[in-house]
Structure 1
Amino acid sequence: EIGRKVVACVANKLRVFSFELVEGAEPNAFALPGGFIFVTKSLVELCRRNEDEVAFILGHEMAHVIRGHAMNRIVSDSAIAAASRVAPVRGAVSGWLRKVGVQFLESTYSQELESEADQLGVRLSAAAGYDPRGSIRLFSRLADLKSAPEKFDLGSYFSSHPPFHVRIESINLQLRKRRRQA
């Protein structure tokens, strides 16, 4: 139901999305090219089944598909893997190239894409009638959990994402601009 409402707000009506709730100890969500969105049950539970937060998560993952991030990630990963196979010096250099290339893609580049997906995710969830501040509540809860790993382990999923406080500030700025324009 939530996914259907958010999908209805996508400009390209030919784009198809499917949503799958999957098992997983770590809270996680990811998107694959073609509009396949996967969310772990533990992430939905972390949201306390709050529809505003779930709508943001779905909108955020849909944004990765809409903006081509999911496809670009696969292409980039394939390019790094191919470059590491044809490197003139095999072994250590090839392994180093693979490691450094993937780390680069998963850190700096990834943070930019995550921020872009946050912005579009907020817009999509708001357009679907959900409270866009659900994203802020979710990130605030995740920040609290990250500071107390003995209570709840977030795993490595969020390690390549922008810090939660940066994401919250960015969304607050987006919402203030939106209010001024209204």
Structure 2
Amino acid sequence: MRTKSTVNEQSKLQYTQLLTEAKQKNALVPPSDPRVQRLRAIASRIVPYAARWNPAAADWKWEVNLLNSDQVNAFCMPGGRIAFFSGILTKLNLTDDEVAMVMGHEISHALREHARKRMVESSATSAVGKLLGAGVSAYFGIDPRLTDTVAGIGAQMISLKFSRGEETEADIVGLDLAARAGFDPRAGITLWQKMGAAGSRQPLEILSTHPGGESRINEMNRNMPLVLPVYARTKGTTVDKLPPYQSMPLPPKA
């Protein structure tokens, strides 16, 4: 059985190897890039509230990186290792609030230890791992023979499918984290509306691992009375005085 410490150490190794391979293929966006600085600034506001949902998170060595890929995806590995794919920023034209919704959701999976539970329950073999590693090859155009070392947790996190209950929990915890950090939780609604609209244009990778649809939006709306007052307090106001949330339109269809 994979213990928390084992998963964390393997996660650290796989994340480092993933970044190394991405850098070799010029797919790792440098820290000086404004997009990376934006992601890290958003994370710096969310992370202080992570320990509310998992006390161990106070000791995690948080990392945030951006991978240059058209994939519409993001993930957070055990131990607080976050990666975004550039496609999710450009294809969905995300506001900072919507980025925070994505980040809060993925962080929540790590905080609630969904990945470790999935991996413990699975009977993944090295052969399956290599298939997952091939998925990393597809993202970066890397020779599949070079991805064997990334065929463990790193690759699993990219393609991991969580249960409906885990996805709902990650949505709600993510809303709470983002709201406490001063991001408008109503952006969770517009985010998934944009996901659905973009997915109707072409298949989105993230929709294959994250169930969408009206039921998801409805669940967020049911929890909005709990998190919207939290957000309003960060703005020094009340819910009834908040202006309507304004998103940004999807980019023109190519």
Residue-by-residue CA offset, 1:44-78 (whole Å, 9 max, x unaligned) = 2234241100111111111011000122233333x
Residue-by-residue CA offset, 1:117-165 (whole Å, 9 max, x unaligned) = 111111100000000011111100111122222xxx413x312422332
Could you tell me how far 1:80 is from its partner in structure 2? 4.3
Contact 1:60–1:117 (Cα < 8 Å) also in 2: yes
The one-letter code matched in structure 2 to 1:81 is: T
Pairing partner for 1:165 from 210, 214, 230: 214
Contact 2:185–2:228 (Cα < 8 Å) also in 1: no
Contact 1:32–1:71 (Cα < 8 Å) also in 2: no
Pairing partner for 1:81 from 110, 125, 146: 125
The one-letter code matched in structure 2 to 1:128 is: A
Q: What 5-or-longer segments of structure 2 have no aligned partner?
A: 1-40, 129-159, 231-238, 240-254
Partner in structure 2 of residue 2 of structure 1: 42
Partner in structure 2 of residue 33 of structure 1: 78
Any residues of structure 2 matched to 1:93-172 within 5 Å, and which?
110-149=163-202, 153-155=203-205, 157-172=206-221
Q: What 5-or-longer segments of structure 1 have no aligned partner?
A: 85-105
The answer to whether residue 99 in structure 2 is matched with residue 54 in structure 1 is yes
Would the alpha carbon gap of residues 63 and 34 (structure 1) be closer, same or farther in structure 2, given more than 3 Å must change?
same
SS in 1 for 2:93: coil
SS in 2 for 1:163: coil
Q: Using the alignment, how far apart are the partners of 2:63 and 2:118 within structure 1?
A: 19
Query: What's the % identity of the aligned pairs?
Result: 31
Contact 1:56–1:122 (Cα < 8 Å) also in 2: yes
Any residues of structure 2 matched to 1:4-19 within 5 Å, and which?
4-11=44-51, 12=55, 13-19=58-64
Q: Using the alignment, how far apart are the partners of 2:195 and 2:115 within structure 1?
A: 23
The one-letter code matched in structure 1 to 2:63 is: S
Contact 1:19–1:37 (Cα < 8 Å) also in 2: yes
Q: Using the alignment, how far apart are the partners of 1:135 and 1:46 within structure 2?
A: 17
Any residues of structure 2 matched to 1:64-79 within 5 Å, and which?
64-77=109-122, 79=123
Using structure 2 for the length normalisation, give the TM-score.
Answer: 0.55
